[in-house]
């Protein structure tokens, strides 16, 4: 299947919804405190999406997903379902994954937050995972291959004695939530499709403190590390430009240029 090349109108709409998704993660950070439930985080994001941003929470009812955001705590790799029973504690790490839909286009981003002060391992894992994302983004430019993204992520994670989840990956995005190409977070340089200006996709490495093996729980959504060790994830929606990349979901706290 061919990878869609966005025209200027589509790119402007992707910029607009991407900015809203980034804004939402900035907003929710103040609420991530010991004692809050992940259901409460979901309610706050849901209301903010509808009432403040004039957008739609894309995950809600997507293939049966029951909530507006994903909240993945500690050993939950991805697709954690917000719950009134899940109360955040000091020392937890939680990935909040938001996807907004506006004017027919999607913006998808996530960040792993530290609740209070976490262990040295949790802090280091979160930092290395963010660095993996940034290295992957810096590999984006016309003429490079998608394998180049996966290669730099895998190298950095494994150099720091962490492992890369292989069953879940980044994806093309636009009017379709999950589109071509699949963006693997491991691989060999020079392999995979070639990048071209106008392509939009997510990079979202999932990095484990233990082994890479994961397990899907009986709810058919929640993915956990098989050894129950910590995991972290960071995600941005990226546009390939004539010279390199543009981060469509950039936030004020990002330490990588919005474009490069």
148-201 pLDDT, tens digit each:
999 999 999 999 999 999 999 999 999 999 999 999 999 999 999 999 999 999
**3-state secondary structure string across 179-210:** EEEEECCCCCCCCCCECCCCCEEEECCEEECC
Work out the angle at residue 202's Cα, subtended by the Cα atoms of residues 32 and 42, and round it to the nearest 5 degrees.
30
66-84 pLDDT, tens digit each:
999 999 999 999 999 999 9
CB 138 within 8 A of CB 243: no
- Domain-by-domain residue ranges, the chain? 8-247
What's the whole-number average pLDDT of the chain?
Answer: 98
| Residue 41 CB partners (closer than 8 Å, separation 6+) | 28, 31, 32, 69, 71, 82, 96
Q: What percentage of the chain carries pLDDT values higher than 70?
A: 100
Q: Which strand (E) or helix (H) includes residue 153?
A: helix 146-159
Q: Which strand (E) or helix (H) includes residue 28?
A: helix 8-28
pLDDT band for position 22 (cuts 50, 70, 90): very high
Tokens of 248: 């469509």
- Report the distance separating Cα 171 and Cα 130, nearest Å: 18
Say whether pTM exceeds 0.85. yes
Which CATH fold topology does 8-247 show? Creatine Amidinohydrolase (3.90.230)
- Report the distance separating Cα 122 and Cα 3, nearest Å: 36
């Amino acid at each position: 299947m061919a990878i869609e090349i966005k025209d200027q109108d589509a790119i402007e709409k992707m910029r607009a919804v991407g900015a809203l998704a980034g804004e939402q993660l900035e907003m929710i950070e103040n609420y991530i405190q010991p004692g809050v439930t992940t259901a409460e985080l979901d309610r706050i994001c849901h209301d903010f999406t509808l009432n403040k941003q004039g957008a739609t929470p894309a995950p809600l009812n997507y293939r049966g997903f029951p909530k507006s955001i994903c909240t993945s705590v500690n050993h939950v790799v991805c697709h954690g379902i917000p719950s009134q029973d899940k109360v955040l504690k000091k020392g937890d790490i939680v990935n909040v994954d938001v996807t907004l839909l506006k004017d027919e286009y999607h913006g998808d981003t996530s960040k792993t937050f530290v609740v209070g002060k976490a262990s040295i391992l949790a802090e280091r894992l979160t930092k290395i995972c963010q660095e993996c994302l940034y290295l992957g983004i810096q590999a984006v430019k016309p003429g490079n291959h998608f394998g180049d993204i996966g290669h730099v992520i895998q190298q950095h994670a494994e150099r720091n004695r962490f492992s890369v989840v292989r069953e879940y990956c980044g994806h093309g995005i636009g009017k379709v939530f999950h589109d071509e190409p699949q963006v693997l977070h491991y691989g060999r340089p020079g392999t995979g499709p070639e990048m071209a200006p106008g392509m939009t996709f997510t990079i979202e490495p999932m990095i484990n403190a233990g082994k890479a093996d994961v397990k899907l729980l009986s709810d058919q959504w929640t993915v956990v590390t098989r050894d129950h060790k910590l995991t972290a994830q960071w995600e941005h929606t990226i546009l390939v430009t004539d010279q390199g990349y543009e981060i469509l979901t950039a936030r004020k706290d990002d330490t990588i240029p919005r474009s490069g």
